[in-house]
Amino acid sequence: MTAPSPTFEFDGAAVPLQPGDTILQAAQRAGHEVPHLCWDARVSPSASCRLCTVLADGRPVAACVTPAQPGQRVQCHTPALAQQRLRLLQLLFVEGHHFCPGCERSGACRLQAAAARAGMTELHFEALDPDRRVDASHPDVWFEPGRCILCQLCVRASDELDSKRVFAIGGRGLGAHLLIDSPSGRLGDSALSVHDAAAHICPVGALLPKRVGFAQPIGRRPFDDAETRG
Amino acid sequence: MSPPPTSTPPTVGAAPRKWRVATVSLAGCFGCHMSLLDIDERLFELIERVEFDRSPLTDLKTLAPCDLGLVEGGLCNAENVEVLRRFRAQCRILVAVGACAITGGLPALRNHLDVGEVLRATYGERVPDDPELPLPLARVLPVHEVVRIDHALPGCPPPADAFWQLLQDLMAGRAPALHGGLIRYD
């Protein structure tokens, strides 16, 4: 005799709960899509991107860190939340240098895919145009800070999966940036290897393995839309 | 989301007045215009419904009041700014077309270089200084930082089908509804 497993309501559908579930985990397991950039099942959550914000019993919370409660009423896809996600994506675009036409992550980039899905056609805000320098000192990996969205996936992957702690976030406010743990502060002097999980977990075109760009034909990249690629 | 309600254009009597459409390339590569031409034989259908004003495809040197202006390219020099302002003044609907107009695009990669140093690196000691030449701006700007825009058509270039969708929607009195596959940035 097993008690029926507890559920909560996600956009009107009943979603079963397991002990310790966050809203995002339970919803994903039940096949519901929750928009996100900084969440990855392999590492602990950081709740920095805010794209997964949902209304839990009317209150805005980040679904990736908020425990799901039995009987809770969660709204994920509403016009107001869609508009808020669009603004968040536009903020990320103007904060960095996201010139997709020249980026080798185009078509395989979570930020770009989320923006297209959100219907983003323009930037809305003024470009911040930060002055950031590329770090190409590592033989196999390069870092383009202009594209970094501070999701901290590389920070967590290096810490939790590679046990190396190569990365951290430093600075405050708009000055926040990715720090590299090496005497020179450069990637080439750090313990990072191209085989590390951290070298491959970046959801955008900031931390990339060298010499493998533009290998996938347009139309066969992970987020390509079959409809228009022909 | 469902598109906003359609306002049906009047269809009584003679054929509806043709739309006047102007196009321009500022700091563009003309690739967006080529992508517009990629609507191929639909150009014949288009020309039944629109008349082109100033455009790289016509010989008109000045701009009359227009229903629609399509702007390709960002702003890289003083003449770009003057032309863009004129387009804003004359066009009822102004559309930023392509990555350059919307974000500054790849030309904006020069924004962290000193424009004087760029010119000297290119021309050496003989940087052109005739007053007939427009001075470059210190930074390449997207068009929405200088004038209000009504719509944007992303892509580098936008797909021909996206141009077609935009034109169809605008001429039917609808806000352009680009569905998933027609929104791209590369």
Average pLDDT of the segment spanning A208-220? 94
Phi, psi values for residue B82, rounded to 5°: -60, -45
- The pLDDT value given to residue A125: 97
Distance CA A94, CA A124 (A): 9
Nearest-CB residue to A129 (from B99, B111, B182): B111
Residue B111, min C-alpha distance to chain A (Å): 8
- The pLDDT value given to residue A229: 45
Average pLDDT of the segment spanning A66-82? 97
Which residues in chain B come in under a pLDDT of 50? 1-2
Residue A189's domain comprises: 83-209
The CATH number for A63's domain is 3.10.20.740
- The pLDDT value given to residue A228: 43
Residues in chain B within 8 Å Cβ distance of A79: 1
One domain, residues A66 and A115: no
Nearest-CB residue to A126 (from B96, B145, B154): B145
- The pLDDT value given to residue A225: 75
Domain membership of residue A214 (yes or no) is: no
CA dihedral (A224, A226, B1, B5) in degrees, to 10, reads 130
Q: Of residues A216 and B16, which shows the higher confidence score?
A: A216
Angle at which helix B42-49 crosses helix B160-171, to 10 degrees, equals 30
One domain, residues A88 and A67: no
Domain membership of residue A25 (yes or no) is: yes
Domain membership of residue A1 (yes or no) is: no
Nearest-CB residue to B1 (from A79, A100, A101): A79
Q: How confident is the model at residue A226 (pLDDT cuts 50, 70, 90)?
A: low
Q: Which fold has domain B20-175?
A: Rossmann fold (3.40.50)
Query: Does the distance separating the beta carbons of A127 and B103 come in below 8 Å?
Result: yes
Query: Does the distance separating the beta carbons of B144 and A228 come in below 8 Å?
Result: no
Residues in chain A within 8 Å Cβ distance of B70: none
Q: How many domains does chain A have?
A: 2
Domain membership of residue A165 (yes or no) is: yes
Nearest-CB residue to B144 (from A117, A122, A229): A122
**For the segment B88-100, what is each residue's pLDDT rounded down to a tens digit?**
999 999 999 999 9
One domain, residues A67 and A104: no
Distance CA A92, CA A89 (A): 5
Query: Does the distance separating the beta carbons of A127 and B183 come in below 8 Å?
Result: no
DSSP A135: B
**For the segment A175-187, what is each residue's pLDDT rounded down to a tens digit?**
999 999 999 999 9
The CATH number for A169's domain is 3.30.70.20
The 3-state secondary structure of B44-66, one letter per residue: HHHHHHEEECCCCCCCCCCCCCE
Domain membership of residue A227 (yes or no) is: no
One domain, residues A51 and A88: no
- The pLDDT value given to residue B58: 97
Chain B interface disruption, residue of A100, A103, A110, A121, most B CBs within 10 A: A121
**For the segment A84-126, what is each residue's pLDDT rounded down to a tens digit?**
999 999 999 999 999 999 999 999 999 999 999 999 999 999 9
Name every residue whose Cβ is closer than 8 Å to that of residue B78 and which is 6 or more positions away in sequence.
B134, B135, B137
- The pLDDT value given to residue B44: 97
One domain, residues A22 and A119: no
- The pLDDT value given to residue A230: 39
- For chain A, percent of residues with pLDDT exceeding 90: 93
One domain, residues A137 and A111: yes
- The pLDDT value given to residue B10: 52
Phi, psi values for residue A36, rounded to 5°: -160, 155
- Is the predicted pLDDT of residue A6 greater than 90, yes or no? yes
Element (H, E) at A69: none
- The pLDDT value given to residue A5: 82
- Is the predicted pLDDT of residue A207 greater than 50, yes or no? yes
Domain membership of residue A171 (yes or no) is: yes
**For the segment A21-69, what is each residue's pLDDT rounded down to a tens digit?**
999 999 999 999 999 999 999 999 999 999 999 999 999 999 999 999 9
- The pLDDT value given to residue B1: 44
- The pLDDT value given to residue B16: 77
Domain membership of residue A218 (yes or no) is: no
Distance CA A205, CA A199 (A): 11
Q: Mean of the per-residue pLDDT values for chain A?
A: 94
Residues in chain B within 8 Å Cβ distance of A116: 180, 183-185
Query: Does the distance separating the beta carbons of A120 and B183 come in below 8 Å?
Result: yes
- For chain A, percent of residues with pLDDT exceeding 70: 97
